[in-house]
Amino acid sequence: MAPQRPYHHGNLKSALLAAALELIREVGPAAFTLREVARRAGISHNAPYRHFREKDELLAAVATTGFERLAKQLARPGTIPPHVRKPALLRFHASGVAYVQFALKSPEHFLVMFDWPLEADRYPELATSATCAFSVLVGLVQAAQREGSLPGGDPHGIACIAWSLVHGVAKLAIAKKLPFQSMVEVLSFTKRAIEALQGGLSRGAPWKN
Amino acid sequence: MAPQRPYHHGNLKSALLAAALELIREVGPAAFTLREVARRAGISHNAPYRHFREKDELLAAVATTGFERLAKQLARPGTIPPHVRKPALLRFHASGVAYVQFALKSPEHFLVMFDWPLEADRYPELATSATCAFSVLVGLVQAAQREGSLPGGDPHGIACIAWSLVHGVAKLAIAKKLPFQSMVEVLSFTKRAIEALQGGLSRGAPWKN
DNA sequence: ACCTGAACACCGTTCAAGT
DNA sequence: ACCTGAACACCGTTCAAGT
């Protein structure tokens, strides 16, 4: 007889997440609906509730994997020539470019991570993964401070400034508010912005304590 | 007899906009609904369609007035001591602080302006007001270049970098991702960030044409 | 002109029921 | 355990109708 496989088995949760990413990429987080995800996964519109308490829990899962992937990209930002003199500073710069690159390559993650109002306290894994990603950046700042290529002082403050810069670039680039067409143009602009900030940071004036 | 005033008269459009701002402030743009706005304005749920073709047109109107108010804040950013030596640079810096201040004081505008996916080409007034606000920033960069406190080169590039920085600060501050409680703390952080960037910009390395 | 009520096709979420 | 269909209260939008 016909389809003798009415139930999904085991992989439904990841199938839902994959379908969600695809849908968010197509229509954005605002127009994303749970029922359309279920349709694409070939299940009834309330089967997702077996795996996610509510729509936002699915989106929180998307954001969490986004932060995990971002943390990896920041920690291993492309190839660094192994013989350079001050690799920590280079890795710090490269992590900024990696941040923007992540946002442009995975806007479906990035927009949920930052533009969707998820109550972080309701999704502890999300808060953890976000903190973890930020601590990668702080670690890079500290390493650069140790080798003397960034001034002393609170590494969190410097990390927050650098984060703000690349976050602004990423957000405005995704929204196509910046006058660049291609990703290489945006990344080249990102490099210039980071170098500009670096020039000011290394003069090190306002970083008391 | 009882209520002999069944119709709104003339001011309904602005009443709708005011109710919309209040509602967005309370629940955010994502949870904003046209029907709730109509309820608050005391009219039926489809009366708004007399003034706005669709929900997004009302939101586009909110965003447009937001850009207009922002442009004003950027152009006249607080008090500048009248006897300072290089006022253009100070006004440039102050406009950055004003940008973040606007975002924190009017998140209901800011979030619609930047976090709601409005198709700019469908709302020409929105595109115009946004361009106008950006040109204020470019003008401040050019003035600082004329007085020699910013290096030469394409003012749009410098403006884009400065914009990215303050936009990132504003966005992360609204989302409460930065470790600051009060607005004064955020604004003080903003000043430090701008000064850091300034230090690098004034060294003027990577601004070829 | 400006507003209304009924209607349509959606949505998130719940629940009793099926295997 | 995992899934289904029916149901509820919402939403954006349309339309014929009222003053």
* Res B188 pLDDT > 70: yes
Partners of residue A197 in chain B, C-beta under 8 Å: 165, 196-197, 200
Q: How high is the pLDDT of residue A8?
A: 61
User: Would you state the pLDDT for residue B205?
Assistant: 39
Chain B touched by A10 (CB under 8 Å): no
Task: Please give the protein residue whose CA is closest to the C1' of the nucleotide D4.
Answer: A44
d(Cα A155, Cα A137) in Å, to the nearest integer? 9
**Ordered DSSP codes for B173-190:** HHTT-SS--SHHHHHHHH
Q: Decide if B97 contacts B194 (C-beta within 8 A).
A: yes
Which distant-in-sequence residues (6+ apart) come within 8 Å of B147 by Cβ? B86, B88, B89
Cβ of A15 near strand D (distance < 7 A): no
C-beta separation of B165 from B96 below 8 A: yes
Q: How much is the pLDDT for A203?
A: 58
Instruction: Give DSSP secondary structure letters for B71-123.
Output: HHHHHS-S---TT-S-HHHHHHHHHHHHHHHHHHH-HHHHHHHHHS---GGG-
What is the structure's pLDDT at B133?
98
pLDDT digits (tens, 9 = 90+) for B27-82: 999 999 999 999 999 999 999 999 999 999 999 999 999 999 999 999 986 666 65
CB contact at 8 A, A88 and A42:
no
> What distance in Å separates the CA atoms of residue A173 and residue A156, rounded to the nearest whole number?
25
Listed as ranges, residues in chain A with pLDDT below 50 are: 1-6, 204-209
**Nucleotide nearest A35 (Cα, C1'):** C11
| B189 neighbourhood in chain A, CB within 8 Å | 157, 160-161
Which two structure tokens, joined as six digits, stand for B59? 């939101």
Question: Does B165 score more than 80 pLDDT?
Answer: yes
Q: Do A197 and B196 touch (CB under 8 A)?
A: yes
Cβ-Cβ contacts under 8 Å, B165 against chain A: 161, 164-165, 168, 193, 197
The chain-wide mean pLDDT, for chain B, equals 89
B99 pLDDT higher than 50: yes
Nearest 10 degrees: Cα torsion B192, B195, B199, B201: 120
B205·A195 Cβ contact <8 A: yes
Contact B200 A201 (CB under 8 A): yes
Q: State whether A199 and B205 contact (CB < 8 Å).
A: yes
Q: pLDDT by residue (tens digit) across A129-147?
A: 999 999 999 999 999 999 9
Q: Is the pLDDT of residue B1 over 70?
A: no
Greater pLDDT, B109 or B76? B109
B206 interface with A at CB cutoff 8 Å: yes
- pLDDT interval class at B86 (50, 70, 90): confident
Which residues, 6+ apart, have CB-to-CB distance to B26 below 8 Å? none
- Answer whether B160 sits within 8 Å of A178, measured CB to CB: yes
pLDDT value at residue B89? 93
A10 φ/ψ sector (left φ>0, alpha ψ -120 to 50, else beta): left
